Amino acid sequence: MRMTNTKLFNKASNGFIEHDPTQDGIDRRGFLKCMAWAGTGALCVMQGGVLKSFALGSQDSSIKSHKTAGLSFVQISDSHMGFNKPANPDVVGTLRAAVDKINALPRQPEFILHTGDISHLSNPEEFDNVDQILKATNREVFFVPGEHDVLNDDGKMFRERYAKNAKGAGWYSFDKNGVHFIGLVNVMNLKAGGLGTLGNEQLEWLEDDVTHLKSSTPIVVFAHIPLWTIYPQWGWGTEDSAQALSYLKRFGSVTVLNGHIHQTMQKVEGNVTFHTAYSTAFVQPAPGKADSPGPMKVPDGQLLSLLGITDVNYVQGKHALAVVDSSLA
């Protein structure tokens, strides 16, 4: 399945496979470029070991072949229901726009992952509101908490609503179409001066959870705070994420999906693809580009282009999952 000479993009965009050390048809650098390109509304998907891309929403034949993918799901994040400041006075409207976007996807997702900050202030009405709006997707939604969802009760309400059968503070795993999904909690028991934390109990559970899996099983890990260090000065990272990732080293394909920073960012390291999602509520500044990571008011008319959803596709037998961001504009 070696595709070293295949040029999938014109050279001008530098989007062809240049390096393929693992001989899996995936050039990590090329994949990143493809994903960067995808940010403007295209879709990259692995098929027959070849990285293919096509515009989102186009109805050409490539979409048809894309429909043979093994599994499709959507990630949404940071809906911050209850937020009403100038950065977005209508978080209900933008979450509804995200639902419309999901419902209009050419390939309907089998389920949805919400990577936390469902609510702004952990109020029951805020959770109710989100549940009500997401019903319009007719899809099952899997949640992990953000720090805004566990504000005053150590996450009790979150667990009762969204993680009844989960372990500890709300972590769990499940399998879909041969892909193993792991929802982690890194917003509890945070220590002064530190970053996000998983904690020993959760790490032990994770190690045990994956021991029985074949190394060829694709893994998707989802959690609120990024599991890679993006900007520690703003707390954008997780103290003990390296320990967690060490348990996943033997797997051929690991996709890590996070929220929290309200902007998309990708990194590929070995067999691990890290990805952060858009918020559906408001924008936060790029790392270090403002005095604080607080909500950022963007010029009128630009907000929808900076909020969005993430569409993830897995083709059976292939390694990397295709991760595609689409803005709400």
Partner 1 sequence: MKNKILIAIVGVALPLALTALFMIYPARVKGQDAKSTEVRVDNFTFAPDTLTVPVNSTVTWVNKDDIPHVIASSDGVFKSKALDTDQKYSYTFTKAGTYPYYCSIHPKMVGKVLVQ
E strands present in the chain: 42-47, 50-55, 71-76, 111-114, 140-143, 172-176, 179-183, 219-222, 254-258, 265-269, 272-276, 308-314, 322-327
Nearest distance in Å: CB 314, partner 1? 33
Nearest distance in Å: CB 90, partner 1? 15
Nearest distance in Å: CB 237, partner 1? 10
How are beta strands 172-176 and 179-183 bridged, if at all? antiparallel
Nearest distance in Å: CB 120, partner 1? 7
Nearest distance in Å: CB 171, partner 1? 19
Residue placing its CB nearer to partner 1 in the complex, 218 or 295: 295
Residue placing its CB nearer to partner 1 in the complex, 147 or 240: 147
Residue placing its CB nearer to partner 1 in the complex, 90 or 175: 90
Nearest distance in Å: CB 192, partner 1? 4
Residue placing its CB nearer to partner 1 in the complex, 276 or 326: 276
The pair of structure tokens assigned to 168 is 């500890």
The pair of structure tokens assigned to 254 is 């690991």
Where along the sequence are the contacts to partner 1 (CB under 8 A)? 83, 85-87, 120-122, 147-148, 151-152, 187, 190-195, 232-235, 291-295
Residue placing its CB nearer to partner 1 in the complex, 60 or 291: 291
Nearest distance in Å: CB 277, partner 1? 19
Residue placing its CB nearer to partner 1 in the complex, 52 or 161: 161
* CA 237 – CA 240 distance, rounded (Å): 9
Tokens 């003990």 sit on residue:
240
Cβ atoms of residues 92 and 54 within 8 Å: no
* CA 59 – CA 210 distance, rounded (Å): 39
- Those residues whose C-beta lies under 8 Å from the C-beta of residue 207, and which sit 6 or more positions away, are 247
Long-range contacts of 205-213 (CB under 8 A, 24+ apart): 205/167, 205/168, 205/171, 206/171, 206/182, 206/244, 206/247, 207/247, 209/173, 209/182, 210/180, 210/182, 210/247, 210/248, 210/251, 213/180, 213/251
Residue placing its CB nearer to partner 1 in the complex, 58 or 152: 152
